[in-house]
């Protein structure tokens, strides 16, 4: 598999790999969980070395999704916000506790990170662009 071109083909889905590219990252995606945030929030997390969202203070955890939940989560929660960053997170590398809990409004179990997200657990960061019909399927 080749790394994405700096000049994407217009037929390419509206997301590209940002960060640590390679076949091993994409192979690990099925076991990973995903956290959505804005490009500014990602830049801040990189600067301070940890991701802390307002939901951590308000609800006690950071929201995450499975690969299968990612597109619906992006469209339900972030519609109209434009470009996002998807963090690919290795649950085994988290410093904080991970719990799977039911989201009653959706009727599915979601991964919740009960503490700051340490960047050592982040395998990759993807650009995730919103198109005219919303966010499309995640890469891979």
Any idea what the CATH number is for the domain that residue 39 is in? Answer: 3.20.170.20
Query: What is the pLDDT averaged over residues 61-85?
Result: 96
Query: Taking all residues of the chain, what is their mean pLDDT, rounded to a whole number?
Result: 83
Q: What percent of the chain has pLDDT over 70?
A: 77
Residue 4 lies in a domain: no
What is the model's pLDDT at position 113? 98
At 108, phi and psi to the nearest 5? -130, 155
By residue range, what is the domain housing residue 93? 15-118
Counting the structural domains of the chain, the total is 1
85-137 pLDDT per residue, tens? 999 999 999 999 999 999 988 899 999 999 999 999 999 999 999 999 999 99
Residue 3 lies in a domain: no
Q: Long-range contacts for 16-24 (Cβ within 8 Å, ≥24 apart)?
A: 16/126, 16/127, 16/139, 17/124, 17/126, 17/139, 18/85, 18/124, 18/125, 18/126, 18/127, 19/122, 19/124, 19/125, 19/126, 20/123, 20/124, 21/124
Residue 27 lies in a domain: yes
Residue 22 lies in a domain: yes
């Amino acid at each position: 598999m080749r790394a994405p071109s700096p000049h994407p083909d217009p037929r390419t889905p509206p997301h590209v790999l940002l960060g640590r590219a390679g076949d091993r990252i994409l192979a690990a995606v099925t076991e990973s969980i995903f956290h959505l945030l804005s490009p500014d929030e990602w830049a801040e997390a990189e600067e301070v070395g940890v991701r802390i969202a307002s939901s951590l203070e308000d609800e006690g955890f950071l929201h995450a999704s499975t690969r299968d939940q990612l597109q619906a989560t992006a469209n339900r929660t972030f519609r109209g916000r434009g470009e996002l960053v998807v963090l690919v997170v290795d649950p085994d590398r988290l410093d904080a506790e991970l719990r799977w809990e039911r989201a009653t409004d959706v009727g599915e179990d979601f991964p919740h990170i009960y503490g700051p997200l340490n960047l050592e657990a982040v395998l990759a960061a993807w650009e995730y662009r919103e198109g005219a019909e919303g966010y499309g399927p995640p890469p891979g």
